[in-house]
Each structure stands twice: as structure tokens, then as C-alpha cells.
């Protein structure tokens, strides 16, 4: 990555990120045809297996051995407006649930045997309350209120973006072969709504959902107004993605965007979760248009902003269960299907081609010579 001491060269991602190997994908599809199974008999699993083969650059694909859930955490100042079903500044409690193994994503990950890594970029609590390995990338305590001020300074945004890149490098170096990406925040879906509405050129009401904890109509109207006001501040900087993230993304979303792009650079496939990861992926697509080929949408959460973002990126979610709890839970539910696709593609034998039938002596000739005489 070409960087100066003071600014990120986001344009270089476009040069560094290549698409997964299309030739390998064709080879994987051809091998699948030689298994003897009827076309489309495995449904979506065939498509997922071909995607994994192209990402790995090998046929047959290798079964996934080291998937890992990476969850980015941060509080958002806009939550003070009452746009979330949880009190502002309570992300620390959610993080502790993940660390204690009592949160939904932690339970699902334990069931799947997937290690969970939680990264605090902007949780609004004393850093001493959380383990050092969780807080070592923290940029600030909480984010600014996006409706009236920038969520981050430009310098903080750069720190968060670089942190996401560093975490992606750490995972790639550790041998992680698939990342399940998640988020834990209070106010994060409001920030995601601003980013998606800005990039899709739509109104606040089109992208405003009910959030991870279902909010009532009054809270929905407050959230819609906050996204509307955030949009007024985000649209003037739409051409500069780092400034856009500083204006509305907060430290966690900014780091997730850097993480996604660097995963694409390092050829590490990523399974996206809900609306927050979709918003970061959409910003990532703006920076490097080939990057989304390394990401797979794990689930449809039912949030309108997520649907808008996935449609813009032409992504078809693996599952449609409406999981809005966040934390990567929806993507973790999709993980067994992705693992199954890899195992089937790796272990299904190619069918032996049938040997050609040799005709018996005299086969195809009339048994009675008189038949020939009659024919003439």
C-alpha cells in the first residue's frame, strides 16, 4: 500500500485488488459437471463452492479449516437522540457478553467451533473495563453526533482505517481462511443508513429501519430525522470516502471498511452479516470496484438499507432469516452452508466416464441374408 505519513492513498486499492481467479472458477464448475450429479442438484452450494475455489486459487477447493469471527465495536453519539432500542453508550455491556460467551453470536460461534475476536474502536467506557487485546486499537471513546458534527476528525478516521487494515493483515498472517464479519454498537445502524443513503442517492425514509432492537414509531421518526440531518453533512464529501467515513461512519465502521479492503488485497474471503457490514462494503466498492468479489452476503436482515446496499453491489444473501441482533450472528448461521459447500466440492469424486460399447460381431446386420435380397 502506497501511503504518505499523513494521508491514505485510497486509489492504490484499485491497483492492488484483483478479482478472484476466473480461470480457477471455470475449472471448479467443470469439475462439478464431472461428478455426475444433475445440474442444480446442490442449489446455491455449487455457486458458493466455485466462489471459494476462485478465492483460494485451487481446484478442488480446500475445506475451510480456520474460519474466524471478527467483530468491530463502537458507540455512536447519535444514539443520544433515542434512535436505538438500547440506551446510548452501552456497547461495553454487549462486548462483555461476547467475551463471556453469553451473547447470541458467541453462543453460535462456540457451537460452530469458530473463535471470536472482538475489537474496540470506539466503545464509550473506560478502557480498563475491557481486556487489553480488545482495546489496543481504540481510536477514541465514542463517536461524535453525526447529525450536527463529524463522527471523527480526519486524523481519527485515518487511524481507524489503518487499524482495520492491520487487523486484516493479522488475520491473513495467522492463516484465517474465511472471516465472519460482525459489529456490535449502539447507533451503528443509523450511521450505516446515512452512508447507504448518501451512496445510493436516496432519501432517509427509504433506508431507515427498526434496528437490532426493534424500535417503536416515535423512535423510528427520530432515527429518520437523524439520518436526514446526517445526509446533509455527508453529501458534500461524497467524493472523498475517508471524509465521508469521518463525517458519518464512526471509528468502528471506518475500521471495518479498511478491514474489508485489506482482506481483498490479502485474498481472504469475507462473509458479511447485516446492514452495518453492508454499508462498509458499499464504501469499499466505491474505493475499489473489484473488492466485493471477495465478499459474500451471509444473510438478509430485513433492514431496508441493507437491501439497498446489496442490490447496488448485486449480492444475493445466502440466508433470509431476518436476523437483526448484529454481532455477526446472521453470518454465523450462514457459515455451515459455506463450509458444507467447500466440503462437498473438495470430496465429491469425479464420475468415471463410461467405456464405449464395442459392437458384437455382426451387430447391426440382418440375421437373414434373404432380408437383404428382398430389400434389393
Of 48-52, 266-270, 362-366, least confident by mean pLDDT is 362-366
Give the model's pLDDT for residue 274: 93
362, pLDDT greater than 90: no
Give the model's pLDDT for residue 5: 40
35, pLDDT greater than 90: no
Q: pLDDT digits over 109-139, tens only?
A: 999 999 999 999 999 999 999 999 999 999 9
Give the model's pLDDT for residue 324: 82
Q: Express as a percent the part of the chain with pLDDT over 70.
A: 91
Q: Express as a percent the part of the chain with pLDDT over 90.
A: 81
Measured CA to CA in angstroms, residue 359 lies from 30, 74, 97, 353, 371 at distances of 31, 74, 72, 18, 21
2, pLDDT greater than 70: no
Mapping DSSP onto H, E and C, the string for the chain reads CCECCCCECCCHHHHHCCCCCHHHHHHHHHHHHCCCCCCCCCCHHHHHHHHHHHHHCCCCCCCCCCEEEEEEEEECHHHHHCCCCCCCCCHHHHHHHHHHCCCHHHHHHHHHCCCEEEEEEECCCCHHHCCHHHHCCCCCCCCCCCCCCCCCCHHHHHHHHHHHHHHHHHHHHCCCCEEEEEEEEECHHHHHHHHHHHHHCCCHHHHCCCCCCCCCHHHHHHHHHHHHHHHHHHHHHCCCHHHHHHHHHHHHHHHHHHHHHHHHHCCCCEEECCHHHHHHHHHHHHHCCCHHHHEEECECCCCHHHHHHHHHCCCCCCECCCCCCCCCHHHHHHHHHHHHHHHHHHHCCCCCCCCCCCCCCCCCCCCCHHHHHHHC
Residues 272 and 245 sit within 8 Å (Cβ to Cβ) = no
Give the model's pLDDT for residue 212: 66
Give the model's pLDDT for residue 360: 57
Q: Which residue has the higher pLDDT, 243 or 375?
A: 243
Alpha carbons 182 and 184: distance in angstroms, whole number: 7
217, pLDDT greater than 80: yes
Q: What is the average pLDDT across 138-166?
A: 97
Q: How confident is the model at residue 107 (pLDDT cuts 50, 70, 90)?
A: very high
Give the model's pLDDT for residue 359: 56
Q: Which CATH architecture has domain 65-337?
A: 3-Layer(aba) Sandwich (3.40)
Give the model's pLDDT for residue 295: 98
22, pLDDT greater than 70: yes
Give the model's pLDDT for residue 77: 96
Alpha carbons 359 and 235: distance in angstroms, whole number: 75
352, pLDDT greater than 60: no
Give the model's pLDDT for residue 125: 95
Give the model's pLDDT for residue 368: 52
Q: Which residue has the higher pLDDT, 234 or 357?
A: 234
Q: How confident is the model at residue 363 (pLDDT cuts 50, 70, 90)?
A: low
Q: What is the mean pLDDT of the chain?
A: 90
Instruction: Write down the domain spans for the chain.
Output: 65-337
Alpha carbons 174 and 265: distance in angstroms, whole number: 15
Give the model's pLDDT for residue 41: 87
366, pLDDT greater than 90: no
Give the model's pLDDT for residue 7: 77
Q: Which residues pair with 23 in a beta bridge?
A: none
Alpha carbons 198 and 196: distance in angstroms, whole number: 5
Alpha carbons 276 and 184: distance in angstroms, whole number: 9
Q: How confident is the model at residue 216 (pLDDT cuts 50, 70, 90)?
A: confident
Of 222-236, 292-306, 356-370, least confident by mean pLDDT is 356-370
Amino acid at each position: 500500500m502506497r501511503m504518505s505519513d499523513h494521508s491514505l492513498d485510497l486509489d492504490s486499492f484499485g491497483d492492488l485488488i484483483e478479482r478472484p481467479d476466473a480461470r480457477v472458477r471455470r475449472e471448479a464448475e467443470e469439475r462439478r459437471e464431472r461428478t455426475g450429479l444433475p445440474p442444480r442438484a446442490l442449489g446455491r452450494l455449487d455457486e458458493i463452492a466455485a466462489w471459494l475455489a476462485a478465492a483460494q486459487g485451487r481446484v478442488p477447493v480446500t475445506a475451510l479449516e480456520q474460519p474466524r469471527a471478527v467483530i468491530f465495536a463502537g458507540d455512536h453519539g447519535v444514539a443520544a437522540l433515542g434512535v436505538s432500542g438500547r440506551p446510548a453508550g452501552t456497547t461495553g455491556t454487549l462486548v462483555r457478553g461476547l467475551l463471556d460467551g453469553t451473547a447470541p453470536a458467541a453462543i453460535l460461534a462456540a457451537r460452530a467451533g469458530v473463535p471470536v475476536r472482538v475489537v474496540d474502536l470506539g466503545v464509550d467506557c473506560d478502557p480498563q473495563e475491557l481486556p487489553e487485546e480488545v482495546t489496543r486499537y481504540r481510536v477514541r471513546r465514542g463517536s461524535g453526533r453525526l447529525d450536527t458534527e463529524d463522527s471523527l476528525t480526519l486524523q481519527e478516521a485515518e487511524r481507524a482505517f489503518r487499524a482495520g487494515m492491520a487487523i486484516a493483515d493479522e488475520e491473513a498472517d495467522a492463516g484465517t481462511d474465511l472471516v465472519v464479519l460482525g459489529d456490535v454498537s449502539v447507533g451503528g445502524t443509523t450511521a450505516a443508513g446515512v452512508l447507504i443513503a448518501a451512496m445510493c442517492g436516496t432519501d432517509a425514509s427509504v433506508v431507515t429501519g427498526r434496528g437490532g432492537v426493534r424500535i417503536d414509531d416515535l423512535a423510528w421518526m427520530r432515527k429518520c430525522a437523524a439520518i436526514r440531518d446526517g445526509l446533509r453533512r455527508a453529501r458534500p464529501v461524497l467524493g472523498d470516502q475517508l471524509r465521508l467515513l469521518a463525517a458519518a461512519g464512526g471509528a468502528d465502521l471506518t475500521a471495518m471498511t479498511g478491514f474489508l479492503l485489506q482482506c481483498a488485497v490479502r485474498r481472504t474471503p469475507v462473509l458479511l452479516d447485516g446492514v452495518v457490514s453492508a454499508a462498509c462494503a458499499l464504501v469499499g466498492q466505491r474505493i475499489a470496484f473489484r473488492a466485493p468479489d471477495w465478499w459474500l452476503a451471509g444473510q438478509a436482515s430485513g433492514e431496508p438499507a441493507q437491501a439497498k446496499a446489496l442490490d447496488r453491489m448485486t449480492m444475493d444473501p445466502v440466508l433470509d432469516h431476518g436476523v437483526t441482533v448484529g454481532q455477526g450472528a446472521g453470518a454465523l448461521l450462514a457459515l455451515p452452508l459455506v463450509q458444507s459447500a467447500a466440503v462437498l466440492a473438495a470430496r465429491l469424486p469425479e464420475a468415471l466416464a463410461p467405456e464405449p460399447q464395442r459392437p458384437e460381431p455382426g451387430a447391426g446386420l440382418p440375421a437373414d441374408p434373404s432380408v437383404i435380397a428382398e430389400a434389393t
